[in-house]
Amino acid sequence: MMIPALGFGTYRLTGNVAQQSVAAALRAGYRHIDTAQIYGNEREVGRAIAASGVPRDELFVTTKVWVDHYEPDALLLSLEESLDRLQLDSVDLVLIHWPAPDNPVPMDAYLPALLEARGQCMTQHVGVSNFSIADLKQALKLVGEGSLLTNQVEVHPYLQNRALVDFCRAEGIRVTAYLPLAYGKVNQDPVLQAIAARHGVSAAQVSLAWLLQRGLLVIPSSTQATHIRDNLAAARVVLTDDDMAAIAALDRNERLIDPAELAPRQWD
């Protein structure tokens, strides 16, 4: 199936909270669930999916390979373990989680292994996360145009990543925006609040609608059933050109996740 534009993220959700939140998301109508090996919640995500009764062919499930597993044999083994935890025969998308430029395993070793995972039907699609334009150029030389479904990166009103988004669009790579609500900062923003008031929605819904109208995929996260439903409803919000311009003016290159040992040597 095609990747749904609005998915449910599970970053920082663990244990029973993760399982209950994913279950609530599936009940609300989400059909795109995003997890990762390092989140430590694949097992809970799998339990929620198994108990949901949602047919497998109606779900799009993403996981990410952690940096400790980039060596080719380890990468494939780690994905087998992820599938076991998720109780799935395959996932829809596997991402390399970080470029980790100082990792002893180079890109020309782990990206072919990712393609091998696809060849073994462990995943339908492959992609990357937190890759800069320079990283993507190197990756495309290795795997070829059309091989990467998405680059999952931090994007929100205060970090709009325009150059990277434009590059990905030109190369046919979808951008998946994580942290779309900037850890909840958008809820207190007067510009977003004013737009929200005009549309009768929340500032969070405005932020999500802005990303969706830019053509990005979005994976908000929440533990509250009301917020989970409201986030999904953001897909019905239609912003005006003036709204979009006002949000564009909020960009201040405020990056909230930037681990020195994992991030690109230079962000765009």
What is the tens place of the pLDDT at every residue in 150-196?
Answer: 999 999 999 999 999 999 999 999 999 999 999 999 999 999 999 99
The share of the chain scoring above pLDDT 70, in percent, equals: 100
Architecture of the 8-184+215-220 domain: Alpha-Beta Barrel (3.20)
64-81: pLDDT as tens digits: 999 999 999 999 999 999
The predicted model gives 195-202 an average pLDDT of 98
Give the pLDDT band of residue 250 (cuts 50, 70, 90): very high
Determine the distance from the C-alpha atom of residue 62 to the mean position of all C-alpha atoms in its chain, rounded to a whole number.
8
Give the pLDDT band of residue 136 (cuts 50, 70, 90): very high
Instruction: Give the containing element (helix H, strand E) for 209.
Output: helix 203-213
The predicted model gives 96-118 an average pLDDT of 97
Determine the distance from the C-alpha atom of residue 264 to the mean position of all C-alpha atoms in its chain, rounded to a whole number.
17
Tokens of 126: 């492959």
Give the pLDDT band of residue 103 (cuts 50, 70, 90): very high
Q: For residue 1, is pLDDT > 90?
A: no
pLDDT at 179: 98
Q: For residue 12, is pLDDT > 90?
A: yes
Active site residues: 39
For residue 6, list its beta bridge partners. 218
pLDDT at 109: 97
Average pLDDT value for the chain:
98
The predicted model gives 120-127 an average pLDDT of 98
28-43: pLDDT as tens digits: 999 999 999 999 999 9
